[in-house]
Chains A and B, each alone.
Chain A
Amino acid sequence: DAGITQSPRHKVTETGTPVTLRCHQTENHRYMYWYRQDPGHGLRLIHYSYGVKDTDKGEVSDGYSVSRSKTEDFLLTLESATSSQTSVYFCASGDRGSDEKLFFGSGTQLSVL
C-alpha cells in the first residue's frame, strides 16, 4: 500500500447524491486505475488513466466519471449515487500500465443508502 492513499476510507451517502473518491500517489507513476470489488465478481475496472488528462473507460464505467489534473491525483466521481454502487473501491498505480505490476491503495468502503 506504500505510496498510494485513498480518501475517504469509509463513506455512507444517500441515493442521488454526488460522491467523489480521491486517490493520491507519491510514486510518480504514469498509470492509475479505479476498480470496484464486489462479492462474486472479483475486481472490475471502472476507469483508468495513462497520463494527465488522459483517461479511458473500463468494463463498468456507467455512472462514473474520472479526472486527472495532476500526475499524483486521480478522482472518481459518482454523479448521482445509486444503491448498486455500494462497493469497495480500490485505486492502483503503475509505471508501465498492464505490462508491469500495479500498486494498490487500501480501499474505500462506500455505502449508498
Chain B
Amino acid sequence: SQQGEEDPQALSIQEGENATMNCSYKTSINNLQWYRQNSGRGLVHLILIRSNEREKHSGRLRVTLDTSKKSSSLLITASRAADTASYFCATAPNFGNEKLTFGTGTRLTIIP
C-alpha cells in the first residue's frame, strides 16, 4: 500500500500563479522528499525536509511538514510553463529502514 497520497491528483493553473500540492502519509517518518517527473523521464529530486523541520525553501519552492497531522505541502510560486510535470512525495521511514515510499503523484499543468 502507498505510504503517501497526494492531493489533488491533477491541478491546472495559469502561468504566474502559485501551485500548492499536499501529501498525507500514514506512519512516522525520518524525512519527506518531493520529486518532479517530466513526461517520459525519470524522477528528479526537488527538496528534502526532515522530521524535526517545519518549513524549508529552495528557490521558488516552499515545503512545509506537519508531523502531528502526518502531512506536507509543496508550494511553487510564480509558476512557469516549464513547471508542468508530475510531482511526487516520498517518505523515508525511521532511521535504519531504507525503503523510500512514493505517493501516487499530482499532475500539474501550467497554462501559458
**Which A residues have a C-beta under 8 Å from some C-beta of B?**
1, 4, 31, 33, 35, 40-45, 48, 50, 56, 58-59, 90, 92, 97-107
Please determine whether A45 and B48 come into contact, CB atoms closer than 8 angstroms. no
Complex: how many Å from CA A58 to CA B93? 13
Residues of chain B within 8 A of A90, CB atoms compared: 42-43
Residues of chain A within 8 A of B2, CB atoms compared: 41-42, 44
Please determine whether B104 and A100 come into contact, CB atoms closer than 8 angstroms. no
Complex: how many Å from CA A45 to CA B2? 10
Please determine whether A104 and B42 come into contact, CB atoms closer than 8 angstroms. yes
The total number of A-B Cβ pairs within 8 Å is 69
Please determine whether B45 and A42 come into contact, CB atoms closer than 8 angstroms. no
**Which B residues have a C-beta under 8 Å from some C-beta of A?**
1-2, 30-31, 33, 35, 40-45, 48, 88, 92-93, 95, 97-105
Please determine whether B98 and A97 come into contact, CB atoms closer than 8 angstroms. yes
Residues of chain B within 8 A of A59, CB atoms compared: 1, 99, 101
Q: Nearest CB to that of A49 among chain B residues?
A: B98
Please determine whether A33 and B100 come into contact, CB atoms closer than 8 angstroms. yes
Please determine whether B42 and A106 come into contact, CB atoms closer than 8 angstroms. yes
Q: Nearest CB to that of A91 among chain B residues?
A: B42
Partner of B101, one of A1, A45, A103: A45
* Cβ distance B95 to chain A, nearest Cβ, rounded Å: 7
* Cβ distance B105 to chain A, nearest Cβ, rounded Å: 5
A58-B99, A106-B41 given as contacts; is B48 within 8 A of A101 (CB)? yes
Please determine whether A98 and B104 come into contact, CB atoms closer than 8 angstroms. no
Partner of A42, one of B40, B92, B103: B103
Please determine whether A35 and B33 come into contact, CB atoms closer than 8 angstroms. no
Q: Nearest CB to that of B33 among chain A residues?
A: A101
Please determine whether B102 and A104 come into contact, CB atoms closer than 8 angstroms. no
Q: Nearest CB to that of B95 among chain A residues?
A: A99
Q: Nearest CB to that of B48 among chain A residues?
A: A101
Q: Nearest CB to that of A57 among chain B residues?
A: B99
Please determine whether A1 and B41 come into contact, CB atoms closer than 8 angstroms. yes
Residues of chain B within 8 A of A45, CB atoms compared: 99-101
Complex: how many Å from CA A56 to CA B100? 13
